[in-house]
Structure 1
Amino acid sequence: MARTQSFDRDTVVRAARALFWRTGYESTSIPELEAATGLSRSSIYNAFGSKRGLFDAAVDSYLTEVVRPRLRPLAGQHVEPSALADYLTGLRAAFQNLESMPAANGCLLINTAGAPIADDPQVARVIADYRAELRDAVVRGLHAARGQVPAPELARLADAVTGLMVAAFAMARVDAAEAARSIDTALALLG
């Protein structure tokens, strides 16, 4: 007879997510995961299969609970003209709040892109899909803010704004003020 789980999976995944976000996949040890989640090594392996399984669950949680709620105003059928500027302004505020996860730790997936685990094709695909999701949100926001823009100009502007967002997330851990300045540049490009 299989044992039933006596823990809240979402709570465990969130605790692991915070640890992976702060220290990265490779630098996070099983004892640290045990301490953060309150689970034993055997419970982690029984519930998630491996450290990697827990990491994958943490990434899914990050996308579902952190990224997509912030992008929701840019993802619906009707996007307000101010939605992209509002998103960028909120991101800038997060970078200025040095105690926020984005200011202290950047972006879990952008951080992962520069780590050895990104050599895994599945992880690389998740990161590429995330970047595409960001860019698609930017395109929708630009359409709402600017109306019809010639396709080449729209592509250049979307690439520039998305690149500035990615750069801001990458810089946040090192220099949150510089990350905020990247977002200021993205806002300036919106006109």
Structure 2
Amino acid sequence: MGRAPTFDAAAVVRAARDVFWAHGYEEASLPDLESATGLSRSSIYHAFGSKRGLFDAAVTSYLDDVTRPRLRPLTAEHVAPDALAAYLSSLRDALTAAGSPAAAHGCLLLNASGAPVAHDPAVRATVAAYRDELRAGIGRGVAARHPDLPAAEQDRLAEACTALVVAALLVVRVDPDAAARSLDAATGLAAA
């Protein structure tokens, strides 16, 4: 019978998440992960099965701790008419705050979509599901703000706002001003 882990698994996953977020899956070395988590390579493999298992846990943590709390007002049972504007403002603040992980690194999942790890069907499915979740939330925000718009117009507006959010999350690492402009454009579209 194996020993029970003597570490805080959630803290380990958060530490690994920060390494993957900053460096990407491929560039996150096992020594970097060992240093960040305080675990040895054998403990990482024992607890998570592999580097990839730790990455999967980090992605779940990213979704649960970083993205979904910000999206929650757009996925609630009742979506307020100003929920989309508040979401876009909150995201803009996160992407323009000096030193924030989002400003420095963009989106962990969208970054993975442009890396070799995206060839893995499970990663590809996770990224697609995240984009769908984002689009659904934005769609609910558009519907709450513009309930009298025809459904086709709501869909076009939600799709455009989603594309601008994705663009902001992708470009923020190299051009924070462009990321802010994308979110400002989404805010303008949603308000019009």
Q: What TM-score comes out, normalization by structure 1 length?
A: 0.98
The aligned residue for residue 157 of structure 1 is 157
**In the aligned structure 1, how far is the partner of 2:169 from the partner of 2:40?**
33
Task: Report the more deviating stretch, 97-106 or 119-128.
Answer: 97-106
**In the aligned structure 2, how far is the partner of 1:96 from the partner of 1:108?**
17
Query: Does residue 1:189 correspond to 2:186, yes or no?
Result: no
C-alpha RMSD of the superposition? 0.7
The aligned residue for residue 28 of structure 2 is 28
The aligned residue for residue 108 of structure 1 is 108
Unpaired stretches in structure 1, ≥5 consecutive residues:
none
Code of the aligned partner of 1:161: C
**In the aligned structure 2, how far is the partner of 1:158 from the partner of 1:169?**
16
**In the aligned structure 1, how far is the partner of 2:135 from the partner of 2:98?**
26
**In the aligned structure 2, how far is the partner of 1:43 from the partner of 1:98?**
34
Shift of 1:153: 1.2
Q: What TM-score comes out, normalization by structure 2 length?
A: 0.98
Runs of 4+ off more than 6 Å: none
The 5 Å alignment of 1:173-184 reads 173-184=173-184
The 5 Å alignment of 1:125-140 reads 125-140=125-140
**In the aligned structure 1, how far is the partner of 2:102 from the partner of 2:150?**
33
**In the aligned structure 1, how far is the partner of 2:94 from the partner of 2:34?**
29
Query: Does residue 1:145 correspond to 2:148, yes or no?
Result: no
The aligned residue for residue 52 of structure 1 is 52
**In the aligned structure 1, how far is the partner of 2:145 from the partner of 2:96?**
25
**In the aligned structure 2, how far is the partner of 1:162 from the partner of 1:49?**
35
Query: Does residue 1:71 correspond to 2:71, yes or no?
Result: yes
Code of the aligned partner of 2:102: P
**In the aligned structure 1, how far is the partner of 2:96 from the partner of 2:52?**
32
**In the aligned structure 2, how far is the partner of 1:113 from the partner of 1:164?**
17
Shift of 1:67: 0.8
Query: Does residue 1:8 correspond to 2:8, yes or no?
Result: yes
Task: Report the more deviating stretch, 102-111 or 142-151.
Answer: 142-151
Q: Percent identity?
A: 58
